[in-house]
Structure 1
Amino acid sequence: MTNPFPPALDGAVIPGGCDNCNAEQHLRQDQPGMWSIDIHHDNTCPTWRRIQAQRAGTPDTFKGR
């Protein structure tokens, strides 16, 4: 399997990733050939607040009796 990113990028912090705040993208190699990118938003970011509110709410797929 070809590695999509050079190993030197493991742990890299890249500015950007959100149109509403000064977010940073954190690049991490989880295992060989498997990478993840986490976006770290500002605490005041409206996008981040919306994500938090959605996570705290009842899922749309929940059907109560």
Structure 2
Amino acid sequence: MSVIPAELDGAVIPGGCADCNAEQHFRQDEPGMWFIGIAHDDWCPTWRRIQAQRAGLPTTFLS
């Protein structure tokens, strides 16, 4: 039995971020393997922070 109902495959649900009008996207890639992504607005401060962290060096290399 899956914890995520099969009916959510392909669903787009509003929400997921307190700073913008994000949407949650659900996709079952194979039985039992789910992709759940959050699509933020381009102007979202949370999304900009995530992008900046991904562009920077890993924290283990920072002094």
TM (normalized to structure 2)? Answer: 0.89
Distance 1:54 1:41 in 2: 16
| Displacement after TM superposition at 1:6 (Å) | 2.4
Of residues 3-12 and 52-61 in structure 1, the stretch that sits farther from structure 2 once superposed is: 3-12
Q: Which residue of 2 aligns with 1:29?
A: 28
Q: Which residue of 1 aligns with 2:41?
A: 42
How large is the RMSD of aligned CA atoms in angstroms?
1.2
Mapped pair 1:53 → 2:52: yes
Instruction: Provide structure 1 residue ranges, at least 5 long, that are not aligned to the other structure.
Output: none
Aligned to 2:16, the other structure's residue is in SS state: coil
Instruction: Provide structure 2 residue ranges, at least 5 long, that are not aligned to the other structure.
Output: none
Q: Percent of aligned positions with the same letter in both sequences?
A: 71
| Displacement after TM superposition at 1:43 (Å) | 0.0
Which has the larger Rg?
1
Aligned to 1:26, the other structure's residue is in SS state: strand
